[in-house]
Amino acid sequence: MGTAAPLVEMTGITKRYGGVLACDGVDLTVRAGEVHALLGENGAGKSTLMRVLSGDVTDHAGTISIEGRRVEFGKPADAQQAGIAMIHQELDLVPALSVAENLYLGRELRTRFGAVDRRRMADRTRELLRRTGIALDPARPVGDLRVGEQQLVTIARALSLDAKVLIMDEPTSALSSTEVQRLFAVIAELRRGGTGIVYISHRMDEIGQVADRATVLRNGRKVAEFDARRLTAEQAAEAMVGRSVQTLFRAERGAVGDELLTVSGFAVRPRRPRVGRREPDGIDLVVRRGEIVGLCGLLGSGRTELLESLFGAGTPGTWEGEVRLDGRPVRPRGPRHALREGIAFVPEDRRGSGLVLGHSVLANTVLSVLDRLGVAGFVRRGKEISATERSVTQLRVKLGRIADPVGTLSGGNQQKVVFGRMLLTEPRLLLLDDPTRGVDIGAKSEIYQLLGEIAGRGIGVLLASSELPELVGVCHRVVVLRAGRSVAEFDTAEVGEAELLAAAMGERVADGSGPVVGTGRQTGGGSR
C-alpha cells in the first residue's frame, strides 16, 4: 500500500475565511484501499480541507489530483462525478422525506416512462441499509428516526454513490458500540474493493482499529503524520493540542451526598406511540448529590427517551412508577417547569435542539434565564452581558465577541455555551445526552474537568453516553438500559468496558460464568 500511486493528492491547499486562515498549505494523499485518519481539534481545518475535496469550497489555493489527473470542482456535483462522496458530521437529511427519498434525493431512479421508480428505490434502500446493519422501512419519514438511525441512513446514502473516495466526518458520533463494529465491517468491505477512505474522528480508540495512516492538523497546518496502527492517544493528543493531555477520560470525583433523584419502576405509556422511540418501561436508578451516574445502552435502549421524560420533553402519556427529587414526587409538565424544579438538560443534538445557530453567543447563553435578568418583563442588557461574560469565562469558551453568532464557534465551544446556559439556571440535577459527541480531545478533557467541578458543587449528574471509556472514566456508577428497562448497575471502580457492553447486549461474561452484572447488581427493571 505504501508504494501504491495516490488515488487522491491534495497539494498546498489554502483557504481563508476573512481574517482566519482555515487551511495553510496543507498536503494530503489517499491511496486505493487505504483508510487515512484526519485528526485535529475543532477548528484545526479538517472539515474545511474535506469541503475543498468534496467540492463544497471552491475558492481556495492549491491543487487536487484524482488518479494522477488534476481536477477543479465548481460544485459538489462535480466532485461526485469524479468519484468523491462525503458523510457530513452534521446530518443533512430532509426530515419530511422518507428514508428512500433521502437516499436518492436529486438522483431519483426512473422507470422507462420517466416516472420515479419508488419500488426499485425501496428495494435498493433495503439492501444499502442491510449493509450498514440496520432494518428500517424505506417509506418511513427520516424525521421520525433517532439521531443514531439518521447517521446510519447518511452512511447508506454515501454507499449508494459507489465512490472511489469516501470521506467520513465523525461517522460514529451517534452510534453505539455494536453499530460501530458494523460500520467497521462496511469499511473493511470497501477497502477490499479499492475505495480510499478519509476518516475523521475524535475517538482515539477507533483510529488504531480502522486506519492505516493518520495526519494531524493544528491551526490549519499539517503538523504530523503517523502509522495509525501504532499511534497512541497520548501521541495524538500532544500533536493535536501542542501539549500533553493528562487523564483524558477522568473527572475529579468528590464526596457524594444524600439521594437527590430516585426513580422506581418508571414507565411511560404514550397516548400516541411514536415509531422508533423506546419509552421507559421499568427503570430503577438513584442519583446522589455530587454524583455522576452513567446511562449505558445500545441504540434504541431508551437512554434519550428517559432523559427527555425527566425534563418534561418526552412523549405525552401516562407515567407509572415513581420519580422523586429531594424526596418529593416530581413530574415536569414541560422544560420550563423542569427548570423551575431544578432540572436542566443538555440534549444530544446541540445544533438542532440545544442552540439557535443564527443568534449570538449572548442570546443563546441567557435564553433560559431571561425572567431572572429583568424587572416587570423588561430584560436589563447589562445583566445579560454580565451573565454571559461570567459564563464564557468560567467555561473557557473560545470566541471573538459574545455578539458573534454561536454557529461560528467550534463544536466543543458550542457545547460549552449549552452547558453555560443550563448552569445559569442553578440546577440541582443536570441531565446530559452524549455531551461530548463530535468534540475534539482538548474540548473533551475540558468538559470532563467541568463535570467534576459541577459535581463538586453538589449537583447530581445523569449522563448518557455512547462511549464506554467515557462512562467508566467519568462516572461513579453506571446503569445499563436495554429495551427501555434498567437491567444492571455497576460501580465503575470495579468494572471494565467489556462488562458494560455485554450487559447492554444481554450477553454473559466471556468465561460463561453467569449473567453480566459484573461486580454490580441486577436491577429491578430487568425482572419486569
Question: Which range (170-179, 200-209, 352-361) has the least confidence?
Answer: 170-179
Name the phi and psi angles at 297, rounded to 5: 175, 155
Q: Which pLDDT band holds residue 511 (cuts at 50, 70, 90)?
A: very low
Q: Where are the domains of the chain?
A: 6-241, 259-342+427-527
Neighbour count for residue 348 (Cβ, 10 Å): 23
Is the pTM of the predicted complex or chain greater than 0.75? Answer: no
E-state strands within 361-446: 374-375, 378-379, 429-433
Take residue 48 and report the three cell numbers written for it: 474545511
Which is nearest to 245 in space by CA: 232, 259, 258, 227? Answer: 232
Please tell me the distance from the alpha carbon of residue 347 to that of residue 469, in angstroms, as a whole number.
20
Q: Which residue has the higher pLDDT, 149 or 486?
A: 486
What length does the chain have? 528
- What tens digit of pLDDT does each residue of 311-350 get? 999 889 999 999 999 999 999 999 999 999 999 999 887 7
CATH architecture of 259-342+427-527: 3-Layer(aba) Sandwich (3.40)
Q: What is the pLDDT of residue 289?
A: 96
Fold match flag (6-241 vs 259-342+427-527): yes
Q: Quote the distance between the C-alpha of residue 139 and its chain's center.
A: 26
37-50 burial, b for 16+ CB within 10 Å, e for fewer? Answer: bbbbbbbbbbbbbb
CB 198 within 8 A of CB 164: no
pLDDT greater than 60 at residue 249: no
For the chain, what is the mean pLDDT? 86
Which is nearest to 50 in space by CA: 157, 201, 155? Answer: 201
Take residue 368 and report the three cell numbers written for it: 433560559
- What tens digit of pLDDT does each residue of 41-69 get? 767 889 899 999 999 999 999 999 999 99
Please tell me the distance from the alpha carbon of residue 196 to that of residue 165, in angstroms, as a whole number.
5
Radius of gyration of the CA atoms of the chain, in A:
24
- What tens digit of pLDDT does each residue of 258-305 get? 999 999 999 999 988 776 688 999 999 999 999 999 999 877 789 999
Q: Which residues contact 464 (CB under 8 A, 6 or more apart)?
A: 294, 295, 297, 303, 304, 306, 307, 348, 432, 433, 434
Q: How far is CA 207 from CA 79, 411, 434, 444, in A?
A: 26, 20, 20, 17
Burial of 316 (0-12, 13-18, 19+ CB in 10 A): exposed
Q: What is the pLDDT of residue 244?
A: 58
Please tell me the distance from the alpha carbon of residue 52 to that of residue 59, in angstroms, as a whole number.
9
**CATH superfamily of the domain spanning 6-241:** P-loop containing nucleotide triphosphate hydrolases (3.40.50.300)
pLDDT greater than 70 at residue 526: no
